[in-house]
Every structure is written in C-alpha cells, then in structure tokens.
Amino acid sequence: MIGLVTGANRGLGYEMIKEGLRRGHTMLAACRNTGDETSVGGLLKLKEQYPGSLRILEMDVTDREMTEKAALQVQQEFGHIDFLVNNAGVLFEKMVMPGDAIADLDVEKFRKTLDVNVTGTAIVLKYFIRLLYASEDACIMNITSEAGHLSPQGYNYLAYSVSKHAANMYTQKVRNYLAEEQADRHMRIYMIHPGRMDTIMGKENAQIPPSESAAGLYDILDRKKQIPDMDVPFINYRGEPMPY
C-alpha cells in the first residue's frame, strides 16, 4: 500500500513512517521543513535503508498552496494513495495553566492551535481526497486525542482540547458524507487517540513509546485488528472505542 503521513519528521509521525516501511508499504513523509537537516535527519537515514520506498514531501498543513502542490506531485508520481494519517499537531499549553484561564487567554496561540489541528487536517483532506478515491481500499486516520471529549472536570490544555474536539467533529462530518454519498467506495475513516506517548509533545504525561502506538495503528490499517462498523468511529491505538 501507499501511505501518506503528515508531521512525519518526529514523534508518532516518524514512527508511522518507520513501521510502514518495515511492513513493506511505500511511504510518503510529509514534513513542514524538508530543508532543515536536523529536522529530517531520521527520515534521510530511513531513505538510505529503504531506497525507493520512501518519498519526503514538503508540506506545512496550514499552507494551501504547498499542500496542493504536494498532492499534485503525488498524483503525477503515484496516481493514488491507500492511506492517509493526519498526524501533524501542536500543543502550546502545559498541564498547569498560570493565571485566569479565560481572561489570560493567549489569543494567537489559540488561533494557531486551531489552524494546525483542525484547519490543517481539512486542508490536507481537501487536496488528497481524490487520491484516496483512486484507491481500491482506502483508509483515513485522523489523529485527534482523548483531550477532545466533553468532560465535566478539568480545564487544562484548553485550546488543544477545543481543537481536538473540533477535529473529531470534522472527522464525523467526513464519515457521514462518505457513508451517505460515497458508500460504494467502502472507505474506512477513524478519529484516533494514539495513547499518551513519550514524544516532545507528550512527555509530561507519557505512558507508552510512540512505536507502540504506531504498531497498533498498522494492525488496524492492515486489518490484523478488526474494527466493527461504528456510527462514531472514535477509537484508541488498540482499536478500543473511546468516549466522546
């Protein structure tokens, strides 16, 4: 299969590329800054290890033109993709928030969080959906978070939680559209909590290495782990249903 992963230079994105190559897939690694060797160093090493199976693409998910250009490149080179992992994400907040959560809101960071975590996901899908339609067995994984579910307790990670709830809603709308208007394509789509991973973003609460999450996600992608049809396909990396 041919798979595209956004935010592929580190964290879960990088592990998804590495595990995908190990399992024999052709991987397209979309990164914000391909010119920065320290940022994409791990991917360059993988390219040496798996010549011909890894393509690195420049793609800031908030940049429409760049994303459209990348999709055009993939269209010309491969004609389709079989899976898309919308993984790129940002978290600018800490577990404990100083000051008044409402009055001291950092508006710019709030905006940027929604821009990457929600609008970015929609932009990527806008330009890559036709490449997924061209696959015979397509799957979309939107990496959201347990932080996205409504809960009567807690106000930490405010902007991030808002963005992940919105990303779940976006995924649900896409799922409903596919079910109602594109049912004959049999596309799978999931919103996924990848676990509390030991990455730059997740180190405050880490419970698992990102490689464990990546292995779980490929078991779902490769149908080693069967997921029943769900009205609201919000699951964790082990394929278990998540509360929303």
Ligand X SMILES: NC(=O)c1ccc[n+]([C@@H]2O[C@H](COP(=O)([O-])OP(=O)(O)OC[C@H]3O[C@@H](n4cnc5c(N)ncnc54)[C@H](OP(=O)(O)O)[C@@H]3O)[C@@H](O)[C@H]2O)c1
For ligand X, the binding residues (CB under 6 A) are 6-7, 9-13, 32-33, 39, 60-62, 87-90, 116, 120, 143, 145, 193-194, 196-197, 199-202, 210
Edge to edge, the sheet with strand 234-236 lists 54-58, 26-31, 2-6, 83-86, 139-143, 188-193, 234-236
Q: Tell the smallest beta-carbon distance from residue 8 to ligand X (Å).
A: 6
Closest Cα partner for 44 from 74, 34, 69? Answer: 34
DSSP β-bridge partners for residue 196: none
For ligand X, the closer of residues 164 and 175 by Cβ is 164
Q: Tell the smallest beta-carbon distance from residue 186 to ligand X (Å).
A: 26
Q: Tell the smallest beta-carbon distance from residue 160 to ligand X (Å).
A: 7
In the Cβ-directed half-sphere of 70, how many Cα atoms lie within 13 Å? Answer: 30
For ligand X, the closer of residues 81 and 88 by Cβ is 88
Task: Decide if 37 contacts 23 (C-beta within 8 A).
Answer: no
Task: Decide if 19 contacts 218 (C-beta within 8 A).
Answer: yes
Q: Tell the smallest beta-carbon distance from residue 154 to ligand X (Å).
A: 15
Residue 62 CB neighbours (<10 A): 18
Q: Tell the smallest beta-carbon distance from residue 208 to ligand X (Å).
A: 8
For ligand X, the closer of residues 212 and 219 by Cβ is 212
Q: Tell the smallest beta-carbon distance from residue 182 to ligand X (Å).
A: 25
For ligand X, the closer of residues 32 and 188 by Cβ is 32
The residue type found at 88 is A
Question: Which residue's C-beta sits nearest to ligand X?
Answer: 11
For ligand X, the closer of residues 47 and 193 by Cβ is 193
For ligand X, the closer of residues 166 and 201 by Cβ is 201
C-alpha–C-alpha distance, residues 107 and 190, integer Å: 30
